[in-house]
Amino acid sequence: MWSKKEIIIIASIILFLPLPVFAYLDPGSGSMLLYFLIGIFATFIYSMKNIYFRVKVFVHRLFSKHQVKLADKKNIVFYSEGGHYWTTFKPVIEQLSKMGVKCSYYTSDKRDKGLNFKASNVDTLFIGDGRFSLMSLNYLKAKILVITTPQLDVMHLKRSKTVDYFVHLVHAPTDVFNYKPFAFDFFDCVMCSGQHQIDNLRLIEKVRKTPAKKLLKTGLVYFDELLKHKITVKQNQQKTVLVAPTWGEIGLLNKVGFKPLQLLLEAGFQVILRPHPQSFVNDIELMQEIEIKCNQFDLITIDKSPDAQNSMQQADIMVSDVSGIIFDFAFVYEKPIVAFSDILNEHHLLEIIEINATQKNMTTIWETEEISKIATKINIEQVSDLPNLVNQALDNDFMNNIQILRSKSLFNYGFAGKVAAEQIQSLLNEGHPEVSEGKL
């Protein structure tokens, strides 16, 4: 019997051998074959990287001053990749603390406000930044690990025998198809924001023939925090536009650069640019170029704060693309949006390609279906008309549509933190993940 490593090596050799091709593949089968080959190649690369990083993590743990305390097994551990996720974890941790449940909060951001959280039954720890800290969690001992990080057992964070139960806490209302393949496959439980996530995760399980995981009706925990601090800001006569694009190749700034910002500024709008935090990591050169151009105008500011709450409160309207912040702005602040929704090309989403290659009825992405109900849609080719569309959107009343979609699409709006804490406590008390779906 061949080992997993031998199978991967043989498959990789076959993949790169020049072989004659005599067969025709229909588009559906071709997509599945391509998806399969990509999976083999990715598995090989991840395996090699995993060996490399395990060695480096071992050395790092020996000599780093930031070491994870792993001597005792923890009850519940929350892990955050960055300080901007603290608002997602905070309502749950606060509620667990009030319930007398011990838990721990680990972060890879030394500026994380969560490190300042004080409670007798909650300990916090900065475990170092970079991928070493994430890899170090492979040595963690805990009954339950709760993370917002996807692709467990695919990227650097692996399933460990010293962690009993792995939970993914969803931190956006967007569709699960927006994640990379296998984003949720190896979790024991996913705490979902809405029914569309549950439905599509079940569909992925069915197509991929993987065991059914626990899918809980939780909601968006960080909305609790936004609502708690929501205030009405007195508006000036001059309208403020919040431009909040996503990062990467599908992001608005990568598509058209500074042009939409310049058009809004020349039209006399006050502009707040709130790039996705990942833009300053993955799109460094672009952001440097954008900042230089922003410095030439008085009516624009760049928001780099850990959360976008202040900017959303100040803005009269948002311009975005496919970023999940659209739904934060709409559902919490009930303000108008102009969305470059055509940026999202389903051909870039490998997960939905696999699903649609196996069924007659094509599956669609939740936000592409729903965005027109709460926003004015615009195409990239219409960018020159952006100021006019912003003025039109300011005159439209989307509030009723927003409230209807919010009620239909979100679980436990305004008290998801309490629900999440009770769900986690139930998992902990029972000692195994047998929680009736929909009960909690």
CA torsion sign, 434 to 79 to 187 to 369?
positive
CA torsion sign, 198 to 199 to 202 to 204?
negative
Distance (Å, whole) CA 49 – CA 204:
27
Residue 220: strand, helix, or coil: coil
Q: Choose among 333, 340, 326, 336: nearest CA to 393.
A: 336
Distance (Å, whole) CA 176 – CA 198:
9
CA torsion sign, 118 to 120 to 122 to 127?
positive
What's the pLDDT score for residue 25? 46
Q: Tokens for 134?
A: 């994430």
Q: Tokens for 21?
A: 């091709």
The pTM of this model reads 0.77
Q: Tokens for 423?
A: 């769900």
CB 139 within 8 A of CB 162: yes
* Strands (E) located in 8-107: 74-80, 103-107
What's the pLDDT score for residue 344? 55
Integer CA distances (angstroms), 7 to 12, 34, 75, 405, in order:
8, 18, 38, 48
Distance (Å, whole) CA 136 – CA 8:
26
What's the pLDDT score for residue 21? 45
Residue 191: strand, helix, or coil: strand
Q: Choose among 184, 189, 178: nearest CA to 217.
A: 189
CB 193 within 8 A of CB 170: yes
Distance (Å, whole) CA 183 – CA 26:
27
Integer CA distances (angstroms), 282 to 174, 251, 274, 341, 367, in order:
21, 12, 15, 22, 24
Q: What does pLDDT average to in each consecutive run of 10 residues of the chain (440 residues)?
A: 49 48 48 59 60 53 49 86 92 97 93 94 87 75 94 86 95 88 94 96 91 96 92 75 87 90 95 89 89 94 88 94 88 93 59 73 80 89 93 91 95 97 92 43
Residue 429: strand, helix, or coil: helix
Residue 225 corresponds to which amino acid? E
Q: Crossing angle, helix 221-228 and helix 86-98, to 10 degrees?
A: 90
Which ranges of 68-130 does DSSP label H, i.e. alpha helix? 86-98
Q: Which helix (H) or strand (E) holds 195?
A: helix 195-208
CB 189 within 8 A of CB 440: no
Which ranges of 18-129 does DSSP label H, i.e. alpha helix? 27-63, 86-98
What's the pLDDT score for residue 49? 55
DSSP string, 306-362: SS-HHHHHH-SEEEESS-THHHHHHHHH---EEE-GGG--GGG-HHHHHHHTS-SS-
